[in-house]
Amino acid sequence: MNEVLIQQWQLVAGSSWPLLLSVVGFIVGLWIYNRSGKVSLLHPLLIATPLIYLTLNLIELDFNLYYQGNGLLNWLLGPATVALAVPLSQQLRQLPALFKPLSIALLLGGLFATLIALVMVKLFGLNDTILLSLAPKSVTSPIALGLVEQLGGITGLLAVATMVTGLAGIVVAKTVFQLTGVVDERWQGFILGVTAHAIGTAKAFETSPRCGAFATLGMGLNGIWTSLFLPVAVGLFVS
Partner 1 sequence: MKKLVVGLLVLVFFHGLGELGVKWLGLEVPGQLLGMILLLVVLSLNNPLLMWLESASSQLIRYIGLLFVPVTTGAFFLSPEVGAQFPQIAAVLIGSTVVAQWFMGLLIGAVSKPNE
Compute the CA torsion angle 143, 144, 148, 151 (nearest 10 deg).
70
Least Cβ distance, residue 30 to partner 1 (angstroms): 8
Provide DSSP, 42-90: G-HHHHHHHHHHHHHHHTT--HHHHHHHTHHHHHHHHHHHHHTHHHHHH
Cβ closest to partner 1, residue 58 vs residue 183: 183
Least Cβ distance, residue 216 to partner 1 (angstroms): 10
Alpha helices (H) along 127-154:
128-134, 141-151
Least Cβ distance, residue 208 to partner 1 (angstroms): 16
Cβ closest to partner 1, residue 29 vs residue 211: 29
Give the whole-angstrom CA distance, residue 190 versus residue 209.
Answer: 12
Compute the CA torsion angle 67, 159, 133, 172 (nearest 10 deg).
-170
Least Cβ distance, residue 236 to partner 1 (angstroms): 15
Cβ closest to partner 1, residue 3 vs residue 60: 3
Cβ closest to partner 1, residue 195 vs residue 213: 195
